Structure 1
Amino acid sequence: MKVSESGYTREELLEIVDTYLAEQSRRWEFIEEKGDGMYVYAENGDRYLDFFAGIAVSSAGNANKKVAKAIADQAANVIHASNYAYTLPMILLAKKVCDTIGMEKIVFQNSGTEANEAMIKMARKYGVDNYGPDRYKIVTAKNSFHGRTYGALSATGQPDSACHKGFAPLLPGFTYAEYNNLEDFKSKCDENTIGIMVEPVQGEGGVYPADPEFLKGLREFCDEKNMLLMFDEVQTGWGRTGDIMAYMTYGVKPDMVSMAKAIGGGMPIGAMCTSTKIAAAFTPGAHGSTYAANPVCCAAALAEIDEILDNKLYENAKEVGAYFMEELKALPCVKEIRGRGLLIGVEFNKPIAFEVKHRAFENKLLITAVRDSIIRIAPPLIVKKEHCDEAVKLLIKSVTEALQEQ
């Protein structure tokens, strides 16, 4: 539905927002009405170059036609099925995911947070079932982000952040270690630790890629101590970092991996994958979800994955990402540019990131900021070099304007 078809003016709709919505995000006064590939359109027809992808979601492009058709076709037949029925999209997606990434079992969920929650629960139950009632502890990284439900929030290593404040006491059993510091992780583990959980690239934490030696060292240490290595690939999975999954970039296979965002092409779906042995911890009743493996979401995911694989968008992410990171060096006040593929962080030597984000929006470019001095860039994986050139020009303008405000 378009704003013009709603029966309300734009101003009236924004009044409804103020009256009824309990907001947790600082939104722009922007009603997104249409998406098309690398662009999204506001209700007044203004076009925005999308280097945000709905927070690393729309990897095959905004309103991808094959994904939209898959959604419509499935919705015409079965929109929802109970936990007692299989559906064809669920079955085919389970095979597609596991075969593609080399895992044996999958547990579907509705979001990245839920995927991480399921991974945490399975790891803890596996530890208790196999080693005793005290083997449930998990070590995660400082500055990590794993979600906002209680288990995922407790795993998030940001104790002084807004996402933690006011929600104590958190779930016990989590300890935080310094990212990319293997010895610190080892020191935080004890005989009751069942797993180590990290992001191959910390996204919300400021776009910090893992050192290859760090992930390889975690793999060896977990093998030595009979612990599970758990990767949160909610943001990095399905082509974002230049391989189908980020762990493939590093050549380190985890025991468990979570995913969401890009897998659904915009529909709410998440999942975690593991081995047959570990998955056996989820006996009947141990976990469940009414909407998980929703057939419409699974149909969308099948189409999105096909688009990513058939068009080798992960290779495009590697090639165009390297080009873009080089071009971004032209921005004023850059301290460091880091990332993998098309998950890129630009750190400035001044605290201007949030002002840059807002200036970019005014200049018709969508990005986000994750720290006072860090912007995060994660465009659809269909992006071309000419889009990057346009984005760099808009960013130079936005940074210059932000500096003038200081």
Structure 2
Amino acid sequence: MALFSTYNRLPVSVKQAEGTIVEDIDGKKYLDFGSGIGVVNLGHRNPAVQEAVEKQLNSYWHVSNLYHVPIQEEVATQITKHSVGDYVFFCNSGAEANEAAIKLARKVTGKKTVITFKQSFHGRTFATMAATGQEKVKDGFGPMLESFVYATYNDITSVQHKVDENTAAIMLEVIQGEGGVIPADTTFLAQVSELCKEKNILLIVDEIQTGMGRTGKKFAYEHYGIEPDIFTLAKGLGNGLPVGAMVAKKEYAHAFGPGSHASTFGGNPIAMAAAKAVTETIFTDEFLQDVKEIATYLSEQLIENIQPLAYVKEIRQKGMMIGIACHAPVAPIMQKMLDKGVFVLNAGESVIRLLPPLVVTKKEIDQVVGLLKETIESL
């Protein structure tokens, strides 16, 4: 093997995928209820995305950001038209988007400290690793950057105690994904938003996993009635092609002028073609209504069939983002579901995470919920 072993890879070698189905090299088919960790929101090889990418492949692949790439402006306009943001910086991943957000906040305010939260996850670069509130991500890498302090999620008093004259921003996920699928309390987020306004602190919302229709709205912050100064996107934005975006309000645009920040591959035309097709699909009322309806059906099935099981502690759900908290480790459940032909994820040691494609059917939900019930009962 020539690859670094940075992943504990499961015993599946993928041959092809389409829609909600992944097929391995032995011909076994799997229902994908992880969506590539919340990436292929429109399903594998979505026809509209594939057509857009193929069209762009026949035009041009890269010219660098020294020149105008019109499709970048088209995608940026789609994002800003449907959000509270005004300007977009394109990059290649969620970690890069969060790096850009941190840099922008520090440059705009002239301050150095960013408050994040315990159990948060923001990436694995040095800044985003330091921003992440989980020690396991940092083990072995020596001293972290000193610009981050960690408050307790859903505890406004904890946040207030961390604020001082050096606080540039508060950075959070409105639903902590890797931390266990933990939704923010509505009152807590309102209080954080007010605190930011009162103390002239920027509010950064990490929408890497929660954005692009995953929760039944375009962006998860919409559920809470708050307006971030900056928010970040990736994962579902490209439906499988690598793309990230940092979005900010117009009053901060001056801080990111020529030479202030850059990315060689950021806004790559192929990735932009995918993102354009994604936004044109997801940013419609009809599509989001379908997501809400299928999410309601999934919730009903989980409450009826999974919640009563003794192994299960709690089900946490926002749209198509589900955490099934259990009383014991879930690794055996993941392996048994894999054996039965279903991809599921974990979020920590004792939470099963379901991130099905937003185009999943009721029949597929019934199949997975039935297999999940059978698997948990067998334990």
- TM-score normalised by structure 1 residue count: 0.90
Q: Take 2:290 and 2:157, find their aligned partners in 1: how far apart are those partners?
A: 35
Q: Which residue of 1 aligns with 2:115?
A: 139
Q: What per-residue deviation string (whole Å, max 9, x for no partner) do you get for residues 289-335 of structure 1?
A: 10000000000100111222347433333222232233223233110
Q: Residues 182-228 of structure 1, C-alpha deviation per residue, up to 9 Å, x if partnerless?
A: 11111111011011000010000000000111111111110000000
SS of alignment partner, residue 80 of structure 2: helix
- Measured in 1, the distance between the counterparts of 2:253 and 2:131 equals 20
After superposition, where does 1:110-149 map in structure 2 within 5 Å? 110-128=92-110, 135-149=111-125
* Structure 2 residue 259 is matched with structure 1 residue 285: yes
> Is the counterpart of residue 360 in structure 1 residue 342 in structure 2?
no
Percent of matched pairs sharing the same residue: 39
2 CA distance for matches of 1:71 and 1:398? 39
Aligned to 1:335: 313
Report the residue type matching 1:146 in the other structure. Answer: H
Equivalent residue letter for 1:181: D
- Residues in 1 aligned to 2:84 and 2:171: alpha-carbon distance in whole angstroms: 19
**SS of residue matched to 2:213:** coil
Q: Is the 8 A contact 1:242 1:249 kept in 2?
A: no
Q: For residues 72-130 of structure 1, what are the alpha-carbon distances to aligned partners after superposition, in whole Å with 9 as ceiling and x for unaligned?
A: 110111111212111121121111111111311001010001000100011011111xx
1:194 match: 168
Q: Deviations over 1:49-79 (max 9, x none)?
A: 1110000011111110111111111011111
Question: Residue deviations 1:138-181, cap 9 Å, x none?
Answer: 1001000000001111100112x1x1101121111100000011
Q: 1:227 aligns with which of 179, 183, 201?
A: 201
CA distance in 2: counterparts of 1:324 and 1:191, whole angstroms: 46
CA contact (8 A) 1:313 1:382 kept: no
Q: What is the root-mean-square deviation of aligned Cα atoms in Å?
A: 1.3
- 1:215-257 residue CA offsets vs partner (Å, 9 max, x unmatched): 1111111000000011000000011011110011111110000
1:232 is matched by which residue type in structure 2?
A: D
Aligned counterparts, 1:386-401, within 5 A: 386-401=363-378
For 1:268, the aligned partner's letter is P
Tell me the distance in 1 between the aligned counterparts of 2:223 and 2:348.
26
Structure 1 residue matching 2:255: 3-state secondary structure:
coil
**SS across alignment from 1:302:** helix
Which aligned pairs between 1:300-379 and structure 2 lie closer than 5 A?
Answer: 300-310=274-284, 312-329=286-303, 330-331=305-306, 332=309, 333-351=311-329, 353-379=330-356
Report the Cα distance in structure 1 between the residues aligned to 2:104 and 2:340, rounded to whole angstroms: 46
Mean Cα deviation higher: 225-234 or 84-93: 84-93
The 5 A counterparts of 1:1-12 are none
What residue number does 1:263 align with?
A: 237
- Paired residues of 1:269 and 1:292 also in contact (CA < 8 A): yes
1:46-65 matches, within 5 Å, as 46-65=28-47
2:291 is paired with a residue whose SS is: helix
Contact 2:20/2:360 (CA < 8 Å) preserved in 1? yes
**After superposition, what is the alpha-carbon deviation per residue over 1:312-369, rounded to whole angstroms, capped at 9, x for unaligned?**
4333332222322332232331100002100100011122x11111111111011111
Query: Match of 1:60, SS?
Result: coil
- Which of 55, 64, 89 is the aligned partner of 2:71? 89
SS in 2 for 1:235: coil
Give the counterpart letter for 1:152 in structure 2: T
* Contact 2:130-2:144 within 8 A present in 1 as well: yes
Letter in 1 for 2:227: K
Supply the distance in 2 between the matched residues of 1:88 and 1:290 (Cα, whole angstroms): 16
SS of aligned partner of 1:144: coil
With over 3 angstroms needed to count, the CA separation of the structure-2 counterparts of 1:317 and 1:168, relative to structure 1, is farther
Query: What secondary structure is seen at the aligned counterpart in 2 of 1:145?
Result: coil
CA distance in structure 1 between the partners assigned to 2:285 and 2:272 by the alignment: 20
Out of 380-389 and 309-318, give the one that drifted further: 309-318
Name the amino acid aligned to 1:334.
Answer: V
Quote the residue 1:132 is aligned against.
Answer: none
The separation in 2 between residues aligned to 1:313 and 1:30, in whole angstroms, is 32
- Choose 377-386 or 111-120, whichever is displaced more: 377-386
Alignment map for 1:132-211 (pairs within 5 Å): 135-159=111-135, 161=136, 163-211=137-185
- 1:272 corresponds in structure 2 to 246
Q: Which residue of the other structure, out of 346, 361, 365, is the alignment partner of 1:384? A: 361
